[in-house]
Structure 1
């Protein structure tokens, strides 16, 4: 359970960093920081569930493209997971939007990957 909470917080920080660095990714128009924090954590939870359920299937189906591009297609798969998160967040009433797939979602996936990796190295994961 502790590992799951750490992963959700890492995803939340990574999503917040991507939204801060890329104009096309946003968490609603509300200026109240408390509602933004709650939205970011809930979107991080959805993002974690999408990565746990859909990403393994997408990785298997995209394996030939990943091999042909020497792993660079992984960023497209990650961007697709981010786009699916947006599609799921909308009916749930979470104000999470991505303007363009090819620019905003791809660069957002790169930022999320880098921030998640960095925080995973720094923070304990509970497996030790």
Structure 2
């Protein structure tokens, strides 16, 4: 349970850090970041597998690069339905998905080294 809460908080921190780096990617408060982390987790668990399955031929043809587009669409959707989390367009969603992945990986690595 503690690890779940830690990953949730790290995801929210990564969203806040990404909002400082990417223009057009905004989080109004840490509470909004926590809510956005939950929404992103739910969308990643429910909607993203369906999108990946439906676009599998395109993903294979592009050697997996289309997954960047799917990640951007997931973040854009989360921004559309989460109050306090704003993604102003597709390009900020695409850049935000890349930066968010890097920041989340870095934070997870740093916390894993501390434990």
Would the TM-score normalized by the shorter structure come out above 0.5? yes
Residues 1:63 and 1:123: Cα distance change in structure 2 (over 3 Å): farther
Shift of 1:7: 2.6
Shift of 1:2: 3.0
Shift of 1:11: 1.7
Matched, 1:47 2:35: no
Question: TM (normalized to structure 1)?
Answer: 0.77
Q: Whole-Å Cα distance in 1 between the matches of residues 101 and 35 of structure 2?
A: 19
Question: TM (normalized to structure 2)?
Answer: 0.85
Which residues in structure 2 correspond to 1:61-80 (within 5 Å)? 61-80=54-73
* More helix per residue: 2
Show structure 2 runs of 5+ residues with no match. Answer: none
* Candidates 96, 99, 103, aligned match of 1:108: 96
Would you say how many aligned residue pairs link Structure 1 and Structure 2?
A: 112
Q: Whole-Å Cα distance in 1 between the matches of residues 44 and 3 of structure 2?
A: 15
Show structure 1 runs of 5+ residues with no match. Answer: 29-35
